[in-house]
Structure 1
Amino acid sequence: LGTSPTSAYIESSTGVADRGRTGLTALTVAVLFIAAAFFSPLVGAVAGLSAITAPALIVVGSLMISNIAHINWRELDEAFSAFLIILSMPLTSSIATGIALGFISYPLLKIARGRWRDVPLLLYVLAVLFFLQLAFLPH
């Protein structure tokens, strides 16, 4: 339907954060995504304007800002990746791009610090996939 897999993940994690652990949350999100598909032509007509996405990013950012207290700011590999995500979301007007940059930078910084064993293999795979997406696919 033209949605980003990262956005679908964020919708899912939001439901889990609100204690929606049954299939009803996923079913509700699925029905809303299907309903949103009917508005695709209208959204497509104005989607190129950053003024359309900026308010949503501001609201999402303000909701996410409380989690900054849980970041270990004394560890560069942890702090820089989080900072890069926080900074790149509003500058690129894309939540997915911000998350992708975080997925790429985190394993790279762990490797640079010699702590590559702390990163699960799946995170390396995701970092490569996100890099390929940003480098070769239009966004």
Structure 2
Amino acid sequence: MEVDQAPNIKRWIVFYPIYINSKKTIAEGRRIGSEKGCENPTCIEIGDCLAYLKIPFAIELDKAYPRDFMQRGRVRLQLKREDGSFYNPAVASRKQLMIRVAELIPKVRAKRQESSGSSNAGTSKSASAAGSSKSEKRGRKKK
């Protein structure tokens, strides 16, 4: 449900994953309680949650969080339509949005793991067998 209205996106709300990261402190950028947050969310997971909530969004992977430049990616979203009505009446503020997305991310992760677990069952065995064939002894050379 990504929207490609480039000029309007600049006026949309910015949502960094660190806002709902339970492993970060408030000083590091978390905006909701740590018990309500989730561990290390990604932009893609946030985008999946916003698509589920039927809120228009755009993912910007090349952007970084200003306080921690190692945190890559952010999501731009639009809570209200042009006439002022909400896209999702259950989410009427940024705080409600953050809490709702943090609740949905574990479900998104479980669904992804379930779908990827069934498709990657055969490939994991061959990868582990290839890694164990290397049994050379490395260490300090004798003089």
Q: TM-score, normalised by structure 1?
A: 0.26
Which gives a bigger RCO, structure 1 or 2 (Cα 8 Å, sep 6+)? 2
Structure with the greater alpha carbon radius of gyration: 2
Task: Give the alignment's TM-score, normalised by structure 2.
Answer: 0.26
